[in-house]
A and B are shown apart, each in its own frame.
Chain A
Amino acid sequence: GAVVSQHPSRVICKSGTSVKIECRSLDFQATTMFWYRQFPKKSLMLMATSNEGSKATYEQGVEKDKFLINHASLTLSTLTVTSAHPEDSSFYICSADLQGRETQYFGPGTRLLVL
């Protein structure tokens, strides 16, 4: 149980385009999901907290107009990287909070490469 998926697992795009990453909780409902960014050989940096039916809460220094988050249902949150640039290339990981267990379960990550 507590499986989280991400799609796509890997994406390559041109500079200036937008990319959407999906995060789904497959066997549980998640009112809260989290989006992280991980640089090579680095720890996870929390980007934002995604709340179902309301606006996401962004961490300091994260551009909300750059990284659009939508949490339209209890099993799906999306992260859209708008007008992507090479510096946005990174590994993006989502997690879903399983209520009652107060534990985050992580997706497998999405590798984004912006050319």
Chain B
Amino acid sequence: AQSVTQPDIHITVSEGASLELRCNYSYGATPYLFWYVQSPGQGLQLLLKYFSGDTLVQGIKGFEAEFKRSQSSFNLRKPSVHWSDAAEYFCAVGPGGATNKLIFGTGTLLAVQP
């Protein structure tokens, strides 16, 4: 079955500390992978995506993610977290193409303490 797992429901980090949010997927074909961020009461903003090529992708707001096929993972990282990064983060996988239906993980809520 196709699925996305975000093992960490809630993470708290100190401002300035590094961050890694985990994402594992189960998908039959080569997946298109995405990370989105959602602030309270808002829609989702695309942080970054991976389709092919270099397995380390850079996104907006200083985020990056690394695709590891052998581990079926696409973890999101940031070297130094800012208070404004507090939000919910969703990992998603899809087939790409014209009918790009996404499967979302359950999300990781990030809290940033001063």
Determine the main DSSP class of A at the interface with B. Answer: strand
A4 and B32 alpha carbons, distance in the complex (Å): 21
Stretch at the interface among A13-21, A39-47, A62-70: A39-47
B contact residues, range: 20 to 34
- Whether the Cβ atoms of B90 and A43 lie closer than 8 Å is yes
Residues 70 to 114 of chain B near chain A (Cβ within 8 Å) = 90, 94, 96-102, 104-107
Chain A residues within 8 Å of chain B by Cβ, number: 24
- Whether the Cβ atoms of A49 and B43 lie closer than 8 Å is no
Q: Does A83 contact B (CB under 8 A)?
A: no
A34 and B101 alpha carbons, distance in the complex (Å): 8
Q: If the complex has contacts A93-B44, A109-B41, are A43 and B107 also in contact, measured as CB distance less than 8 A?
A: yes
Binding site for A on B (CB under 8 A): 32, 34, 36, 41-46, 49, 51, 90, 94, 96-102, 104-107
Binding site for B on A (CB under 8 A): 4, 6, 31-32, 34, 42-44, 46, 49, 91, 93, 95, 97, 99, 102-109, 111
